[in-house]
């Protein structure tokens, strides 16, 4: 029943962000609010469990890449990130920060940990010669800033993007470059 409530709450996030009410959730589930409160003691607990659920999705997806090459693990990381973080496409990130600051801080810690994991993966790629050397401090800062700033609803709306599409575009230029042909490469 807990997972059913969480999945219904995720659907409400798509419509109302974290501004959905327990009444909205009860309507979606065709049950009474008191029945929901037997599963989740409060909306704060529900928000906490929603974030746990999203983090679990991310971790499950990443586990599939264990043992793969660095480039495949990087790609799997971005795909996992996009799949898990799809719920942040409707102003959720800002609402989380404003309405649930403790949960937002917990989320930020998780996000920063994931950026550190990417940095370790990039370092491994450099060490193996799969990736070229880079200024790690700049890359880390870019990843942290971009992953949060791309969630800005005004930016997404103005550019007719979803968060997933913005992250995919970031991945494309950040990991595959902007040049059509690498510098010094022979013309085809």
Q: Where are the domains of the chain?
A: 2-176
What's the residue count for the chain? Answer: 188
d(C-alpha 172, C-alpha 186), whole Å: 22
d(C-alpha 97, C-alpha 108), whole Å: 10
**CATH code at 2-176:** 1.10.357.10
Full-model pTM: 0.79
Structure tokens at 150: 């791309």
| Crossing angle (nearest 10°) for helices 22-29 and 43-63 | 60
d(C-alpha 95, C-alpha 110), whole Å: 17
The tens-digit pLDDT sequence of the chain (188 residues) is 899 999 999 999 888 888 899 999 999 999 999 999 999 999 999 999 999 998 998 888 888 888 888 888 888 888 787 777 777 766 787 888 899 999 999 988 998 898 888 889 899 999 999 888 989 899 888 888 887 777 777 888 899 988 778 888 888 887 777 666 655 555 55
């Amino acid at each position: 029943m807990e997972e059913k409530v969480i999945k219904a709450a995720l659907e409400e996030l798509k419509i109302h962000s974290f501004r959905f009410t327990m009444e909205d959730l009860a309507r979606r589930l065709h049950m009474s609010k008191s029945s929901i409160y037997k599963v989740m003691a409060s909306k704060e607990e529900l928000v906490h469990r929603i974030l746990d659920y999203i983090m679990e999705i991310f971790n499950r997806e990443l586990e599939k890449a264990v043992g793969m090459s660095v480039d495949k693990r990087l790609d799997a990381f971005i795909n996992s990130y996009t799949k898990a973080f799809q719920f942040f496409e409707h102003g959720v990130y800002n609402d989380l920060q404003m309405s649930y600051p403790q949960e937002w801080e917990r989320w930020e810690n998780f996000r920063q940990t994931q950026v550190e994991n990417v940095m370790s993966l990039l370092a491994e790629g450099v060490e193996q010669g799969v990736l070229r050397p880079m200024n790690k401090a700049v890359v880390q800062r870019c990843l942290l800033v971009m992953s949060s700033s791309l969630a800005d609803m005004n930016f997404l709306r103005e550019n007719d993007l979803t968060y997933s599409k913005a992250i995919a575009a970031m991945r494309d230029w950040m990991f595959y470059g902007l040049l059509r042909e690498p510098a010094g490469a022979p013309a085809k």
